[in-house]
């Protein structure tokens, strides 16, 4: 659909208004909408990562590794261009850069959710996983989700048997 105002660009803003009990919808392109002072409250699909990435590496210490990642060959520049990491080793290679990025994106860097238990776990991994499951169990009991609590208890018992 073309913009009703300029008739040139695609209409991307559909603005409905009621005036004197009459409803009217305007189909406008972003520019004409802006000219009329009709701005959507927030930009749809706006993505903060690009801004963060642009800031990356500017104030970091010189000694920090900019890659390339020994496993996948990704460089810091590649990452800044695409916003995508190449492999799990990238999280180690670019650790210094990522720490501050993750803090800005998420407000912290420490995962406090589910603890993963790999198919062939070490004892420490099993203990950590157990602690994670017990946190979940407490929570399920608190919120009186007894079905969930029973499932978690079974998981904990199985795991305790294996440790």
Partner 1 sequence: MSDNGFQDVGLGWLEGSGAHSDIVLSTRVRLARNLQGHAFAARVRDGERQEIFEHVRTAVQATALNGGAGYELAAMPALGRRILHERHLVSRELAGLSGESPARGAGLFMGPQDAVGVMVNEEDHLRLQAILSGLRLLEAFHRVDELDEELGTHLPFAYHQEYGYLTSCPTNVGTGLRASILIHLPGLVLTKEIGKVLQGISQVGLTFRGLYGEGSEVVGNFFQISNQTTLGKSEEDLVEHLQKIVGRVIQYEMGAREILMRDAPTVIEDKIWRAYGLLRYARSLSFEEVMNLLSGVRLGMSMNLLSGLRVYTLNKLMIFARDAHLEQAAGRPLRDAESDLHRATYVRRVLATEGDVSADAGDAPDDR
Query: Residues interacting with partner 1, by CB under 8 A?
Result: 1, 12, 14, 16-18, 21-23, 39-42, 44-45, 47, 49, 71-74, 78, 82-88, 90-91, 98, 101-102, 105-114, 116-119, 135-136, 139, 145, 148, 155
Cα 105–Cα 108–Cα 113 angle in degrees, nearest 5? 105
Helix (H, G, I), strand (E, B) or coil at 1: coil
CB-wise, 41 or 61, nearer to partner 1?
41
CA atoms 138, 141, 146, 150: torsion sign: positive
Q: What SS3 class is residue 19? A: strand
Taking the complex as a whole, the smallest distance from the CB of residue 45 to partner 1 amounts, in Å, to 4
Min dist CB 141 to partner 1, Å, is 13
Residue closer to partner 1, measured from CB, 44 or 63: 44
Whole-angstrom Cα distance, residue 134 to residue 156? 7
């Amino acid at each position: 659909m073309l913009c009703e105002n300029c008739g040139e660009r695609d209409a991307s803003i559909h603005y409905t208004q009621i005036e004197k009990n009459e409803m009217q919808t305007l189909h406008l392109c972003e520019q004409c909408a802006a000219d009329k002072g009709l701005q959507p409250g927030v930009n749809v699909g706006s993505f903060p990562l690009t801004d963060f990435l642009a800031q990356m590496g500017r104030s970091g210490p010189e000694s920090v590794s900019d890659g390339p990642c020994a496993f996948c060959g990704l460089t810091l520049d590649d990452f800044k261009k695409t916003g995508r990491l190449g492999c799990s080793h990238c999280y180690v290679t670019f650790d210094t850069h990522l720490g501050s990025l993750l803090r800005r994106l998420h407000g912290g860097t420490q995962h406090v959710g589910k603890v993963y238990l790999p198919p062939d776990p070490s004892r420490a991994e099993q203990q950590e996983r157990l602690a994670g499951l017990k946190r979940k169990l407490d929570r399920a009991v608190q919120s009186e989700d007894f079905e969930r609590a029973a499932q978690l208890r079974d998981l904990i018992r199985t795991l305790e048997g294996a440790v």
